[in-house]
Structure 1
Amino acid sequence: MYFRALSRLVPDPDAFRQAPPRVPMVWRMPAAPLTGLLSLNDVDRLLGDGVLRQGMVRVVQDGQIVPPRRYTYADRPIESAFAEVVRAEAIGELLRQGATVVFDALYRTWRPVGDVCRRLGHEAGIPVRAGAYLTPAGSQGFAHHYDPVSVLIVQTEGSKRWQVHEPVVPDPSVRRPWRPEALDDTDWDRLRNGVPTLETTLRAGDVLWIPRGWVHNAFALDEPSLHITFDFGLHTPQSIAENLVRRLDASAEMRRELPWGLAQRPELLAEVVDEVIGQLTGALEAVDRTAFVEELTKTMRRTFPEPVRAPVGSGLMGQVGPDTPLVTVTEAVSGVDRLPDGGARLHLADDVIALDASQTRAFIPRWEADCALPWRALDLMPELDEGGSVRLVSKLLRAGVVRPHT
């Protein structure tokens, strides 16, 4: 596998993929490939173009979430369709007051970051999403907290001081988010007065790895700070178990109503618990593991970001010829099923593309090669004739599996 994205973020991408570090790490990477992902000018464009809406942006001031009405058109006399649009001038004023602006789901609103997320997901084998954090000089957005997923933090402009402490909750789940009130005095004394496991200043091009559950806080220094946080998806035994239990909804026996008054009759509740454990054990032993794995695979594939499409350029207007230069978007395909008749199914996050035997022989080796060099429809010959090659390329282009070479 070619680590085109991970190699920009970590010095040894193969080792990182095989065994992500269990402790926080800092890497001083070449700045240019990373600073180009998102700049302050890019943030101005995002805000100024009016594409951002409530839910895509959060603002934090003095440790509190700022109500969206303070930076959208919700309280302004404007067409209702624009009520949730983020107002650039309001964001600017909040930044001048020391607030931090969080750009959630940046992988959907800013193409360069989205492209990296899709590629990272392919290389890591789990979905990767991203957001960005803009903090004015001398300010702090979020105080001590942990994330239920592991993250790579990429500094693109300015500088930020980070402190990272050992977990207070080992391997927290998404259902166990950070709750400061749940920490005892000993935990807080360690976080506030103890020596961090890692303390570092990130500058443009630096990358910080924070494993899931490690407590961290950060503050901008004498210049505004802009960084991207890449979140690495999470699969646990618990998540697979939950999928197994959901299959029991098909059992009428497991859906039956239990007797009333169980809370008042612990001895009866104990009998019911034993009965349910027995039923659960029997139901799990009867699970068709092959069918369950196939179903779970499809579910997991749908968690990856969908490919980039160009519905006008490659849909209404696109004319693909036999000599049109193309590039394979390997990461657009989350999996390939080989069929007994020699054909294949390409699984995208939101679609499935069927290939017959000749199309499979022509295209799948090219997809498996994961080569960034351009090619043409004619290169699919002799497995396909010229017309068949162009038709297949057009189909893949509309799906986002190939794109024009520029």
Structure 2
Amino acid sequence: MARCVSVEPATFAAAHWGQTPLLSRAHELPNPSGFRDLLSPADADDLLSRRGLRTPFLRVAQDGVLVPAARYTGGGGAGAEITDQVLDEKILDLYAGGATLVLQGLHRTWPALIDFARDLGLAVGQPLQVNAYLTPAGSQGFATHYDTHDVFVLQVDGGKHWRIHPPVLPDPLERQPWGGRADEVVATATGAPALDVLLAPGDALYLPRGWLHSAAAQERSSLHLTVGVRALTRYTLVEELLALAAEDQRLRATLPFGIDVSAPEAVEPELTETVEILRDWLRRVDPTALAARLRQRAWPAARPAPLHPLAQAAALGALGPDSRVTPRPGLRWQLTPAGERVTLRVFDRTITLPQMCAPALRALLSGEVSRVGDLPGLADDTDRVTLVRRLLREAVAVPAHGSCPNLPDGGAAGDPPPPPTGSTDQGQEKHRRQQSGDHHHGHRAWAEHRVSPVGQNLRRGQADQRAEQGHDQRQHRQPDRQVPAVPVAGRPGDGA
């Protein structure tokens, strides 16, 4: 957060968040090199030419409208059965002709921005996205508009002239894009701006959703990043409350036979009764049920840090009591007792485990313990290894940096480890067979098939998880709520 605003977080939250713009000059921010470490013009060139970029990770705008993707995409060449790969020579032609290039979803594709977005998202407590805008000298990508999400603008290179006007619709929702109020937007934009400013490299600008803005490059080309914060709103609560209200049979009742729904006098008594039923239901809403729906909606939009699948898989075989693991960075989790079991919920799944695993889970996920052999509450090291292997396989935990020094970069080892301290004679024998080449009796088989309460319960928990994960996905389906994956005409996105 300190890289984006020049005031203390508490001051920003009280005086600016969702309320008024904030301009932060480069000399007020702790960024010695500005924002070039996040994405430089050379990085952008690399993305456009050497990374096999495809739509919708790139949009192109000219004269205030989006350029059809067919004008700058084509086949990927030999061995690539795709038709929407970005063609660098087409991009050159459009950019040289004054078009603005919009690199989208950089919080998923560019390493420095993946980390930056994760940390900032945890600070603001909201899902966010990162785009980059590359505008040729003297050009303007989009006309005056507003966004339906808050935006942090981070000027990387060149300069851009911004004109900011007050909202025509305060706090617009995603279903209320500026295109539906285009006349009001144009009329307001002709008046005196609330803020008229030139952003230079290293400057940052916060814009709450709804504030009108336009931006034009100056004598040289411009590159800026936009961090769009997809804030949850009270209307989000209303949407989820209505979804829960479907469980009340009274609210599922059919309207009277033959009712003329176009006649206000016919609708009025039904409206009155429905409002009374809804009011009665709202008095008894379970906050736990509402929080569960909000979790299912918010957590998948804020993914944890990426992991390395190959190193993670190798770590499964290298695991032992002396291995060190950490929770996956940026992972949101919830641990709930459920009778003889404990439920671990993360962004994309629900995992059920024996109740005896709860102390170890809490110690690992809270960061109190990193050494596998130090995890509390389990009978022996074999049970600890079994639990941690499951957490590695579920991408809940990751190997601590440097915890496997025998492999390059201290990553996950591929060589089988010695048997855990205190292992049974049976475990020693299986380890001997593993070392002599009997790999079907390898470490994973020895740990997971050992006859122990944890091993048996973990295998049963995997079946429970599959059932519960399917239930979570069914619960989260909301076919009536459609959010475009890519901004469309009339919805420029994260600032121009």
Q: Do they superpose with TM above 0.5?
A: yes
1:139 maps to a residue whose letter is S
Q: Is the 1:393–1:402 contact (alpha carbons within 8 Å) kept by the matching residues of 2? A: no
Alignment of 1:92-131 (within 5 A): 92-131=92-131
C-alpha distance in structure 1 between counterparts of 2:300 and 2:274, whole Å: 32
What's 2:89 paired with? 89
Alignment of 1:258-297 (within 5 A): 258=255, 259-260=257-258, 262-263=260-261, 265-297=263-295
Aligned counterpart in structure 1 of residue 311 of structure 2, from 305, 310, 313: 313
SS of the equivalent of 1:349 reads coil
C-alpha distance in structure 2 between counterparts of 1:343 and 1:257, whole Å: 41
- Unaligned stretches of 5+ residues in structure 1: 1-5, 368-374
Shift in Å, 1:125: 1.4
TM-score (norm 1): 0.83
CA shift in 2, pair 1:169/1:348, >3 Å: same
What's 1:331 paired with? 330
SS of the equivalent of 2:73 reads coil
Q: Is the 1:321–1:377 contact (alpha carbons within 8 Å) kept by the matching residues of 2? A: no
Shift in Å, 1:195: 2.8
Alignment of 1:312-391 (within 5 A): 312-316=310-314, 319-320=318-319, 329-332=328-331, 334-339=332-337, 346-352=344-350, 356-360=357-361, 362-366=363-367, 377=371, 380=374
Shift in Å, 1:335: 3.4
CA shift in 2, pair 1:269/1:106, >3 Å: same
SS of the equivalent of 2:85 reads coil
Q: Is the 2:334–2:346 contact (alpha carbons within 8 Å) kept by the matching residues of 1? A: no
Q: How many residues are aligned here?
A: 389
2:234 maps to a residue whose letter is P
SS of the equivalent of 2:81 reads helix
Greater Cα offset, 244-253 or 343-352: 343-352
Aligned counterpart in structure 2 of residue 206 of structure 1, from 203, 208, 211: 203
Identical pairs, percent: 33
What's 1:10 paired with? 5
C-alpha distance in structure 2 between counterparts of 1:89 and 1:269, whole Å: 60
CA shift in 2, pair 1:389/1:221, >3 Å: farther
Residue 64 of structure 1 pairs with residue 65 of structure 2: yes
Shift in Å, 1:402: 3.5
C-alpha distance in structure 1 between counterparts of 2:155 and 2:298, whole Å: 30
CA shift in 2, pair 1:275/1:168, >3 Å: same
Aligned counterpart in structure 1 of residue 214 of structure 2, from 212, 217, 222: 217
2:219 maps to a residue whose letter is D
Shift in Å, 1:299: 3.1
CA shift in 2, pair 1:189/1:175, >3 Å: closer
1:199-236 Cα offsets, whole Å, 9 max, x none, are 22222222110111111110111222111111112222
SS of the equivalent of 2:334 reads strand
Q: Is the 1:127–1:233 contact (alpha carbons within 8 Å) kept by the matching residues of 2? A: yes
What's 1:234 paired with? 231
- Unaligned stretches of 5+ residues in structure 2: 402-408, 410-496
2:277 maps to a residue whose letter is Q
C-alpha distance in structure 2 between counterparts of 1:344 and 1:336, whole Å: 10
Q: Is the 1:135–1:220 contact (alpha carbons within 8 Å) kept by the matching residues of 2? A: yes
CA shift in 2, pair 1:349/1:88, >3 Å: farther
1:15-35 Cα offsets, whole Å, 9 max, x none, are 256436121112222143621
Q: Is the 1:343–1:358 contact (alpha carbons within 8 Å) kept by the matching residues of 2? A: no
Residue 150 of structure 1 pairs with residue 145 of structure 2: no
Shift in Å, 1:353: 5.0
2:330 maps to a residue whose letter is E
1:98 maps to a residue whose letter is G
What's 2:486 paired with? none
TM-score (norm 2): 0.69
Greater Cα offset, 262-271 or 201-210: 262-271
Aligned counterpart in structure 1 of residue 243 of structure 2, from 229, 234, 246: 246
SS of the equivalent of 2:209 reads coil
1:66-116 Cα offsets, whole Å, 9 max, x none, are 001111117x99878311222222222211111111122221122221222
1:41 maps to a residue whose letter is A
Q: Is the 1:139–1:219 contact (alpha carbons within 8 Å) kept by the matching residues of 2? A: yes
1:317-366 Cα offsets, whole Å, 9 max, x none, are 7635666676654422x233353889965543213456713413532442
What's 1:136 paired with? 136
